[in-house]
Structure 1
Amino acid sequence: MSTYQDLLAAVTDPSGREILDPATGEVVGSVHESTVAELDDAVAAARAAQPEWAGLGHAKRSEYLHRAADAVEANAEALAELLSREQGKPIKNGPNAAFEVGACAVWLRANADFPLEPEVLVDDESGRAELHYVPLGVVGAIGPWNWPMMITVWQVAASLRMGNTVVVKPSEYTPLSVLGLIHVLNQVLPADVLHVVPGGGEVGKALSEHDGVDKIMFTGSTKTGQAIMRSAADGLARLTLELGGNDAGVVLPDVDPQAIAGDLFWGAFINTGQTCAALKRLYVHEDVYDSVCEALVGVAQQMPMGNGREEQNVLGPLQNKQQYDIVAGLVEDAKQGGGRVLIGGDPEPDQPGYFYPTTLVADLPDDNPLVAQEQFGPALPIIKYSDVEDAIRMANGLDVGLGASVWGSDPDAAMAVAQRLEAGTVWINKHGAVDPRVPFGGIKSSGYGLEFGVEGLKSVAASKVISR
């Protein structure tokens, strides 16, 4: 079991680039910036280790994943503190740093235990045909800064279970968190099965176009996902892309506003709104519009924001200045466009850290930038509608389709709307609730490919038919 100082010392390069705490501006540690040559070495080592790893078989690899989960749990406090200091999220309160570290262990165990037997396609007098799933080789995993540890495990766990080796490239904003996680995992995994290569865009591009990489998994912006597709084209690397969201929620007229307000709030403001599948635009029927707005304000007033190491806080800062400026600019657009700020919208000018207050903006038209663009932060636009057909049209009107939600008391009515919303996942009376057993992925410009569950295992494997 490592202390925070032990873990930080293991991943910090004193001569590297400084990483700052987004809550205070203080230095957390320093990270070595890898070169493309170092990336080449990591890919070569992973490729050399892959046949032996694949040869262990599912049962033995699953044992290793359970050992990896044990290691995460044994080092949970140190990992959570490193994550909080680098990413900004509170350590314990709400679904934040301790939650994220715990989810890493949950996903490792789940992927270890999913059954994956050959599928019998034909078995009659003509013969027998079976569909098997075999390793691809080396997986390149490129992760984001919002849930850096958890999303890395989403990519790594399934890939390792299926017999691939993995080279991880973390976000430039949160490399220490991922370095810490992989340091812990590599204490129990065989040598060279899992590598991490921190660096900038040049390293990410080199990984996505590397001829020694058989699959790229990427979570991040649509623009970067498109660039990865272009880079991977020549080598025909397979892709799983989980891209931008801007998820819509539709509130039907039969809801109890007080009963849903808490879940609505956390659907939108989990991780201070910095979640791909967070609720980012809320369409509310005119019959309950004022009541829903009032109930949400009541919940927001009870949610303290501040430094994640201070026990009372449940919301932290935005992770970086660039994202802070995006959120601030979109809220200003909303004000100029006639939006009514119910709470927030006025950050303290001299406060240290990238804290933008929890903000609810009502009475916006559907084409306002705060509605039409993904804010990825603590600002939720609330749009009134009178006809559910209009709500469905507006919800489907953007070229995104990661998640969506419907809120209502009548299960049949909610299901009817859910079936018409264009998204990879539609939740009813909740939003953003992912489960390692349930496949997850987007449509439209929110990407393609599935993660989680047995389908997630298949996505990091090659299909192989054996007929006799």
Structure 2
Amino acid sequence: MSAQNPASPGGPVVEGPHDPEHDPRASYALEPEYTAALTRRLVATSGTTAEVRSPLDDAPLAHVPQSTEGDVADAFARARKAQLAWSRTRLDERAAALLRLHDLILERQEEIIDLIVLESGKARKHAFDEPLHVALTARYYGRTAHQHLDSERKSGVVPGLTRVEVNRVPKGVVGIISPWNYPFTMALCDGLPALLAGNAVVAKPDAQTMLSALLAAELLEQAGFPKDLWQVVAGPGPEIGGAIVARADYVCFTGSTATGRLIAKGCAERLIGCSLELGGKNPLLVLRDADLEKAAEGAVRASFSNSGQLCVSMERIFVADQVYDRFVERFVARTQAMTLGATMDWGNDMGPLISQQQLDTVTAHVEDAVAKGARVLTGGKARPDLGPYFFEPTILEGVTPDMTCFGKETFGPVVSLYRFQDEADAVARANDGQYGLNASIYSQDGDRARAIARFIKCGTVNINEAFAATFASLDAPMGGMRESGMGRRQGSEGILRYTETQSVATQRLIRFSPQFGMSDETYAKVMTANLRLMKKLGRA
């Protein structure tokens, strides 16, 4: 494994001094004027700041002003005022703003990618996925606005005399709490359908990646969304997260299962809805008829994209006994050929982890597994020579239930391999535990793989692909089963979650009570006869 030589990035980034003969790592910084312009978008009056440091070199990037509970209240007040006018804006105008955002993101994607890499440390090619996904989301909802939000005609109880329409009414102000692992995508993708549906948003991005989220807010305004429609607050979740749940009309959260439970409890107490995308211990199945080269390539992306810090990444791979040795040979070889680097180049296959805390978790999981008898096929150790939070992509064999990484999410570049002989047993083992977010099946028999997918308890299943096929197919819902969450993003479900369903019925000529001199008894007989007639006519 090798580190790429650093290259001078463009956009808002300036490169600091380094000695490439003695240190393979570059030092990067941001222009103070650039970060000041971004942080001015925050609703924050506490006078305190939190330092943001880059995982590439642990150098400071910015000092981000912190919000108070009062700032959260102020953000909601501004958002509610803006939402009243926005909800009366024509749907076509809202959709047009999304399509302008699509173009703006593509025009400024290099700047966006620079900032993502600086804040998250991920390889540039994985950072590229973020503006790509947000542009896809903006275009999809911009083009399908009427399909999701137009009033729908429904069958009335009396044919021709009862007209029923179902309206989609915005909930009001949506609270969005987003994670650090995909700082630009998660800051925007859940909020775009909320805006299209006529809502406002108060967003709390993760403290480690505030700048990417603030750039997202800037792009929204430049695309033509009203200034106060999207409010951003900053601060630790335990301090201001509760203030968001206490004021929002709906909450969208992406993060840990433990925090998701707390948010669900808070929403239940207020009788408001929420959608939660939580943890996963995602399985990949390599069937006996799989294309092994394709499966090995997919397994590398499935396990090590964004250094494994991806909710839908794979941490368990089940391989048919007939092809196990040949698959492992290919998978290990591809993993060992990966290029690692804490730089902003396109050439890297994997960057560092986000923080010391994440590195400590990954290290502890691997050390625990090895101490209890697991075998390291490749990787298995930290690489401080490459960056402060680097851990090698690691493949484990012989992982057993008494090891921490067997059932607990690692959220790092660590994957465990398991043999199977019977596909029913493989499905049962894939379903073991309480998670159910994403799964993958490799087989050259598409019909059989799709049939097996129906028995896997995951919200998304990819055939001959790791996660991108479902995640990038915006017309299909994406989310988790069991302890991996509730609700869905994308598709109709991803926008209708932000609306209230309102039925409006207009009655003509007759009323639902006796008339024309009928007694109550006669009216009951007439209605009974009508029910029998409607059934004979095939009416629902």
TM-score (norm 2): 0.82
Alignment of 1:86-125 (within 5 A): 86-91=119-124, 93=125, 96-114=126-144, 115-116=147-148, 117-122=150-155, 124-125=159-160
Task: Name the SS of the counterpart of 1:423 in structure 2.
Answer: coil
How do 1:45-84 residues align onto structure 2 when only pairs under 5 Å count?
A: 45-84=78-117
TM superposition shift of 1:12 = 4.4
8 Å Cα contact 2:311/2:411 also seen in 1: yes
Aligned to 2:73: 40
2:270 is paired with a residue whose SS is coil
Question: One-letter code of the match for 1:72?
Answer: I
Structure 2 residue corresponding to 1:208, chosen from 222, 245, 252: 245
Which of 457, 482, 489 is the equivalent residue of 1:444? 482
Name the CA shift for 1:311/1:432 in 2 (closer, same or farther; >3 Å): closer
Deviation (angstroms), 1:130: 2.2
Aligned partner of residue 400 in structure 1, secondary structure: coil
For residues 401-416 of structure 1, the aligned pairs below 5 Å read 401-416=436-451
Q: Percent identity?
A: 34
Give unpaired runs (5+ residues) of structure 2.
1-9, 14-30, 41-46, 507-540
- Give the AA of the match of 1:199: G
> Separation in 2 of the partners of 1:431 and 1:98?
17
The CA distance in 1 between the partners of 2:227 and 2:38, in whole Å, is 17
Counterpart among 497, 514, 526 of residue 459 in structure 1: 497
What corresponds to 1:189 in structure 2?
225
Which of 222, 228, 235 is matched with 1:199 structurally?
Answer: 235
What is the CA-CA distance between 1:203 and the residue it aligns to? 1.0
**Larger Cα-atom Rg:** 2
Supply the RMSD in Å over aligned alpha carbons. Answer: 1.9
Deviation string, structure 1 residues 70-99 (Cα, Å, up to 9, x no partner) = 3323332222111111111123x3xx2223
Q: Using the TM superposition, give the Cα deviation of residue 268 of structure 1 relative to its aligned residue in structure 2, in angstroms.
A: 1.8
Letter in 2 for 1:193: L
Displacement of 1:358 after TM fit?
0.6
Q: Which residue of 2 aligns with 1:428?
A: 463
1:8 is aligned to 2:35: yes
Aligned residue runs from structure 1 range 116-155, under 5 A: 116=148, 117-122=150-155, 124-155=159-190
Superposition deviation, residue 218 in structure 1: 0.2
Aligned-pair CA distance for 1:365: 2.9
Give the letter aligned to residue 103 of structure 1. H
Shift of 1:345: 0.1
Alpha-carbon distance, 1:214 to partner: 0.4
SS of the residue corresponding to residue 206 of structure 1 reads helix
Equivalent-residue separation in structure 1 for 2:384 and 2:350 (angstroms): 19
What does 1:5-404 align with in structure 2 at a 5 Å threshold? 5=31, 7-12=34-39, 16-91=49-124, 93=125, 96-114=126-144, 115-116=147-148, 117-122=150-155, 124-187=159-222, 188-201=224-237, 202-210=239-247, 213-348=248-383, 352-365=387-400, 368-404=403-439
Separation in 1, partners of 2:104, 2:445: 45
Q: Aligned partners of 2:196 and 2:402: how far apart in 1?
A: 44
CA contact (8 A) 1:8 1:82 kept: no
| Counterpart-to-counterpart distance in 1, 2:256 and 2:69 | 23
Conserved? CA contact 1:107–1:153, under 8 Å: no
Check 1:70–1:259 CA distance in 2 against 1; reply closer, same or farther (3 A cut).
closer
Shift of 1:174: 1.1
Residues 23 and 355 in structure 1, CA contact (< 8 A), matched pair in contact too: no
Q: What SS class does the counterpart of residue 173 from structure 1 fall into?
A: helix
Distance between the aligned counterparts of 1:86 and 1:426, measured in 2?
30
> 1:362 offset after TM fit, Å?
1.6
Partner Cα distance (1:352, 1:309) in 2: 13
Of residues 275-284 and 229-238 in structure 1, the stretch that sits farther from structure 2 once superposed is: 229-238
Measured against aligned partners, the alpha-carbon deviations of 1:348-385 in whole angstroms (never above 9, x if no partner) come to 35654211101111232355322211111101111111
The 1:165/1:12 distance shift into structure 2, 3 A limit, reads closer
In structure 2, how many angstroms separate the alpha carbons of the residues matched to 1:2 and 1:386?
A: 53
* Matched residue SS, 1:192: helix
Query: Residue 308 of structure 1 contacts residue 315 of structure 1 at CA under 8 Å; is this kept in 2?
Result: no
In 1, the alpha carbon distance for the partners of 2:183 and 2:420 equals: 37
Quote the offset at 1:247 in angstroms. 0.9
1:313 & 1:349 partners in 2: Cα distance?
17
By how many angstroms is 1:335 displaced? Answer: 1.1
| Shift in alpha-carbon separation, 1:315–1:352, aligned structure 2, 3 A | closer
Specify the SS of the correspondent of 2:227.
coil
Determine if contact 2:393/2:413 at 8 Å carries over to the other structure: yes
Find the residue that maps to 1:382 and give its secondary structure: strand
SS at match of 1:406: strand
C-alpha separation in 2, matches of 1:227 and 1:436:
29
Deviation at 1:36, TM superposition (A): 0.9
After superposition, the Cα gap between the structure-2 partners of 1:455 and 1:15, relative to the gap in structure 1 and judged at 3 Å, is closer
Tell whether the 8 Å contact from 1:7 to 1:78 is kept in structure 2 after alignment: no
Residue 399 of structure 1 and its aligned partner are, at CA, apart by 0.4
